[in-house]
Amino acid sequence: MIEQQEFGPLLAEGKTKLLYAYPDDDNLAYMVSKDQITAGDGERRNELAGKSRWSTITTANVFRLLNEEGIATHFVKQINATNLLVKRCKMLPIEQVQRRIATGSYLKRHPDVSEGTTAHCHRFLFEAASRCKRRHALRSGAGRDVSQGRCAP
């Protein structure tokens, strides 16, 4: 993996990622993970050393698997521990949240679930929500337990 690369101008910044132009190709960009964790739709933020590395590894692995199965993504390759090379594209305003412990906004939408309820090792609490970029407000969402196969021993 490449350890140092030259970034073009900053294109966008989100709660946990930075997006920089790729200097040699207008169709590509660098996605750089931050050591930032957020809650409450970004209202609460904390620094967590090493989080960017694990986020990048997880993201790269998920997109690699999708690409291997013929599902097109923006992923090109992992550059180093915190940076991905991606195709520039228009973002879909969809957020997907996966948890093993019921907490935060999930509880507001599911008052029948108690704080700290854990999903079994092969199940996740899953929510998909559409977000309006202008207001950044939750438009719709549905929560449900979704079986995700077996967990590691």
Residues 1, 78: Cα–Cα separation, whole Å:
7
Q: Are residues 66 and 122 in the same domain?
A: no
CA distance 36 to 32: 12
Q: Which of 58, 87, 116 is the C-terminal boundary of a domain?
A: 87
In a domain, 38, yes or no: yes
Q: Hey, is 148 helix, strand or coil?
A: coil
Q: Are residues 20 and 61 in the same domain?
A: yes
Is there a contact between 126 and 109 (Cβ–Cβ < 8 Å)? no
What is the per-residue pLDDT for 111?
Answer: 86
- The CATH code of the domain that includes 49 is 3.30.200.20
Q: Is residue 113 part of a domain?
A: yes
**Residues in the chain, pLDDT under 50:** 122, 133-153
CB 71 within 8 A of CB 83: no
Residue-wise DSSP of 9-43:
-EEEE-SSEEEEE-TT-TTEEEEEE-SEEEETTTT
Rounded distance between C-alpha atoms, residue 5 and residue 119, angstroms:
41
Sign of CA dihedral 45, 48, 52, 57: negative
- Could you tell me if 33 and 82 are in contact, meaning their C-beta atoms sit under 8 angstroms apart? yes
Are 18 and 79 contained in the same domain? Answer: yes
What's the pLDDT at 143?
Answer: 39
> How distant, in Å, are the alpha carbons of 72, 91, 100, 112 from that of 129?
21, 14, 18, 19
Task: Clarify whether residues 74 and 37 are in a common domain.
Answer: yes
Taking only the tens place, the pLDDT of each residue in 14-45 is 888 999 999 999 999 999 999 998 776 667 78
Do 80 and 103 belong together in one domain?
no
* Confidence (pLDDT) at 120: 60
Tell whether 68 is covered by a domain. yes
Give the end of a domain, one of 60, 87, 114. 87
Phi, psi angle pair for 147, to nearest 5°: -70, 130
Residue-number span of the structural domain to which 18 is assigned: 10-87
